[in-house]
Amino acid sequence: MNFGNLKSLARAYVPTARRSSVSNTNLELLLNEAVRDVAFRTEAIKKREKFNVVAEQEEYNTSLVLTRFAKMTKEGLWWNAGSAASPDWERLYPRTVKYLDRHYPTWRNDDSSDPERYAQFGDLLIIHNKPDTSLSNGFWAHFVQYPEVMSASTHFPFHVDGDQDTELSRCMILSESILLYTESKILKILGEKQEAIAKMNEYKQDVYEKKLLVNDSEDVIQDSRTKMRGPYVGKC
């Protein structure tokens, strides 16, 4: 469903939500907020994006180096151990700041070298060791992305890059999740607190099930080679 369809159905779901209680502006805000929540919970939009390695820099702000970043995926962060002309991509180990403090207590003062691991701290990706050379597009991140904000009635919540009027067919099933979230928020505005809580619980169950469906790859599941497990290559 596009933005126009969602706005129409959102009011149909709660007939008492007159414009005097829930303005068009507020309804549009709620729907866009619903899309962001659904995108985060279902991990519907996964992206790979490269950004520059800066010598002697250990912190990179995800909001600045990655487009509409929501959270990292399990594929994580990779580093080009080679060169721009001859790349040699190596996966960095995902760790926590607590882990670094425990196992590498001097990490904040360590000399620059080849990166081996990273930790996420709020909006920051902390690289250890910090790189000793700069390299254009030397990091390659795998992450969940927020969609663009809908503003025109023809915009779809989940769309192809650069074209909000063309829907991602894989994400068509997420319209109901968006509407359930919006319905809960409208009920809250109308003072129907218990109904709003019940609807939010219904939304959470629905979006959990949709996450499994959106990310299901039956061809991969059926391929026995996918079930093979090998050692994690690299250093820890």
- Collapsing DSSP to helix, strand or coil, 77 comes out as strand
Domain that holds residue 110: 46-145
Two tokens, residue 45: 């939009």
Which of 123, 145, 167 is the endpoint of a domain? 145
Two tokens, residue 193: 């607190």
30-34, 79-83, 145-149, 225-229: range with lowest mean pLDDT? 225-229
Q: Is residue 132 part of a domain?
A: yes
* Residues 139 and 91 grouped into a single domain: yes
Burial of residue 184 (number of CB atoms within 10 Å: 0-12, 13-18, 19+): buried
Instruction: Identify the band that residue 229 occupies on the pLDDT scale cut at 50, 70 and 90.
Output: low
Q: Is residue 235 part of a domain?
A: no
* Residues 131 and 75 grouped into a single domain: yes
* Residues 138 and 50 grouped into a single domain: yes
Q: Is residue 221 part of a domain?
A: no
**What's the confidence (pLDDT) of residue 18?**
85
Instruction: Identify the band that residue 116 occupies on the pLDDT scale cut at 50, 70 and 90.
Output: very high
Q: Is residue 226 part of a domain?
A: no
* Residues 190 and 102 grouped into a single domain: no
* Residues 78 and 130 grouped into a single domain: yes
Q: Is residue 30 part of a domain?
A: yes
**What's the confidence (pLDDT) of residue 19?**
84
**CA 196 to CA 202: how far, in whole Å?**
10
* Residues 53 and 139 grouped into a single domain: yes
**What's the confidence (pLDDT) of residue 225?**
56
* pTM of the complete model: 0.87
* Residues 211 and 153 grouped into a single domain: yes
Work out the percent of the chain whose per-residue pLDDT is above 70.
92
What is the count of structural domains for the chain? 2
**CA 1 to CA 154: how far, in whole Å?**
9
Q: Is residue 98 part of a domain?
A: yes
**Maximum distance among all alpha carbons in the chain?**
63
**CA 189 to CA 196: how far, in whole Å?**
9
* Residues 73 and 187 grouped into a single domain: no
Q: Is residue 229 part of a domain?
A: no
* Residues 56 and 141 grouped into a single domain: yes
Q: Is residue 13 part of a domain?
A: yes
